[in-house]
Amino acid sequence: MDTSFIIAGKTYRSRLLVGTGKYKDSAETKAAIEASGAEIITVAVRRIDLAKKDEGSLHDILPETHYTYLPNSAACYTAAEAVRTLRLSRELGGWGLVKLEVIGDKQTLYPDIPETLKAAEILVKDGFSVMAYTDDDPVTAKRLEDLGCVAVMPLASPIGSGLGIRNPENIRKIAAQLRVPVLVDAGIGTASDACVAMELGCDGVLLNSAIAKAKHPIQMASAMKYAVIAGRNAWLAGRMEKQELASASSPLEGVLPAKTA
């Protein structure tokens, strides 16, 4: 039996979270996100006017009656900047569930861990439900959980790279040791990557570029939806043990001996 997917006290059916950026227009954004089956969508506070609610706005095409908005602190490079940005999102829309992202390097977009930990502590004390983007270090992941984050989101590989999961054993360890949900975030390139993340024991997957930059985003969104479901079911089923030698699919016990001349 599967367990419920719960983030900050709310239960969701879909374990796939998707971003709202990089699509060619609002129609494609709407269609792709609908095809993904996602219920939580990320929005960059510094890049989108969240206060705008007229026709064609994000609120218009993806209403909050159907989706949980997850404001994030993308493009923030210090704890102070990230905290200020997410506090602004709460002022604009009352959002308490946020994605914390503090970038440490403009080339790799890897997270700045000391600044991330500092921001997480401030935000949790300030009453936010924090989903924290981090590297794939199990020690850092545990520290974020201990600080009170409601979910921890280790990267698979650099943001927007599409390289897939570079350190699967680290992801497996993080998923196994944490009590809060673990979601792979960043680096997913195709459906098989999302499936592997779930097979490693992750509770969910967050992605954007893999859908938005695909040749056919709506079709890829659907593929991601079913990849997450398949990976989760495979993890629950428990894979067979690996072995070095072959093992016949049809047992030899009870087989009639071959006739001899």
* CB neighbourhood size of 219 (10 A): 13
Cα–Cα dist 218/210, whole Å? 11
The string of DSSP codes covering 75-108 is: T--SHHHHHHHHHHHHHHH---EEEE--B--TTT
Taking a C-beta distance cutoff of 8 angstroms, is the pair 195, 231 a contact?
yes
Helix pair 191-199, 217-237: axis angle to 10 deg: 20
Q: Is 225 marked active-site?
A: no
Tell me how far apart the 2 most distant CA atoms of the chain are, in Å.
90
Query: Which is nearest to 14 in space by CA: 43, 35, 44?
Result: 35
Give the ranges where the chain is alpha helix by DSSP (H): 26-36, 58-61, 79-93, 113-125, 138-147, 168-177, 191-199, 209-212, 217-237
Q: Half-sphere exposure of 80 toward its Cβ, with a 13 Å CA cutoff? A: 0
Q: Which of 22, 24, 52, 99 is catalytic?
A: 99
And the tokens for 238?
């428990």
Residues designated catalytic: 99
